[in-house]
Copies of this chain bind each other. A is one copy, B any other.
Amino acid sequence: MCRADGEPALFCCPFSGVFWLWGKTEMRLGEMGEAGLIQAVFTRLAGGPDVVRGVGEDAAVLDLGGERLVLFTVDTLVEDVHFRRVYTSFCDLGFKALAVNLSDIAAMGGRPTHAVVSLAVPADTTVDDVQALYVGFREAAADYGVSLVGGDTVRHPRGIVVTVAMLGLVERDRVLYRDGAAPGDLFYVTGNLGASAAGLYLFQNPGLNCPVGVARRLKEAHLRPRPRVAAGMALAASGAVTAAEDISDGLAASLTHICTASGVGCRLDAASLPVSPDALELGRLVGKDPLDWVLSGGEDYELLFAVRAQAAGELGSRLAAAGQSLIRIGEALVPGEGLWIEDAESGRRVLAPTGYDAFR
């Protein structure tokens, strides 16, 4: 019944990546990975006249005729893939499902405004559980000034799937994209990194003898991320930021996205990376290098961004005045230089984009 059945010519039209894949028809997502899938299917989706940017950013940018542009994003959390019930309450799940979308809007410099929610839950879920989920949604919505305006709740035979779609507004000439970094720009992040991944490590290794306060803060960082919406809006207002992304899959992955989209290399200064003090302490306790949590752990939901070198000083005082952190971690290089991380002991090594992949 599909019009494309047995009609490869039609099948090719929607995505220009199809020809490249033509000989690999049985390749599975587990072999290809998420990045390959995005390359093959998503990056070339056509836009309309009112689509300022489509796929390839943290959120789509639309012109719906108002004074500001509209941001539109969607994110899904799946049980036993993104979270486990054993350490995630329904309330925390609701909060986090909204938070990951808030972070996408923050990364574009926008103000989040409205969200709709789709829940797929087993029929034996209690009404209390669904209400606790909504308590979490409402807490995040209230904290960030978002209106929850609709939802769809459906039965799922096996496990919980939470999808949130969110809208935001952003000034027309102030949208933060990934692709504007130039050689010489400086890279910054908005806060400490590695705590969320260290918190996950604690959940996965429940017998560890970790100080109570450290464990509590690390677990909270994993369950209750605080998206940097105010910082994103301040960065957008500054006009000095050339590229930005939220750090959802580890610093190395976000840096790779920005450098690839912008066509630049980069050098990270390992000593300047703001490793969470609690992650440092847990690393010492368990003999793990917390830098792995920073680079590849993910779910920190801080912002990574590039700034023109001459504008960095002014931006620093502007953000400090707003109580926002601004931590310099490296600089953009000319394209041929590749992506490096550097420290006094080990010298230079290649930075591999080793973040979380949904299909690997």
The residue of chain B having its C-beta at the shortest distance from the C-beta of A165 within the complex is: B165
Interface of A, secondary structure class, is mixed
Stretch from A190-198, A217-225, A267-275, A329-337 contacting the other chain = A217-225
Q: Nearest chain B CB to A210's CB is how many angstroms away?
A: 16
Residue A324 lies at the interface, judged by CB distance under 8 Å to chain B: no
**Can you tell how many copies of this chain the complex includes?**
2
Interface size on A, residues (CB 8 A): 102
Selected contact of A125 from candidates B11, B29, B73, CB within 8 Å: B29
Check A127–B37 contact: CB distance below 8 A: yes
Selected contact of A27 from candidates B3, B67, B126, B149, CB within 8 Å: B126
Residues in chain B near residue A45, CB distance under 8 A: 148-149
Q: Which residues from chain A sit less than 8 Å from chain B, CB to CB? A: 1-5, 10-11, 14-15, 18, 21, 24-30, 32, 34, 37-38, 40-42, 45-48, 50-51, 54-55, 59-60, 62, 64-68, 70, 72-76, 78, 80-82, 89-92, 95, 113-114, 116-118, 120-121, 123-128, 130-132, 134-136, 138-139, 145, 147-159, 161, 163, 165, 167, 169, 219-220, 223-224, 358-359
Q: A46-B148, A118-B165 are in contact. List 16 more A-B contacts (CB 8 A).
A: A1-B91, A2-B90, A2-B92, A3-B139, A21-B128, A29-B126, A32-B127, A48-B147, A64-B66, A64-B113, A65-B68, A66-B66, A70-B70, A81-B154, A152-B163, A155-B358
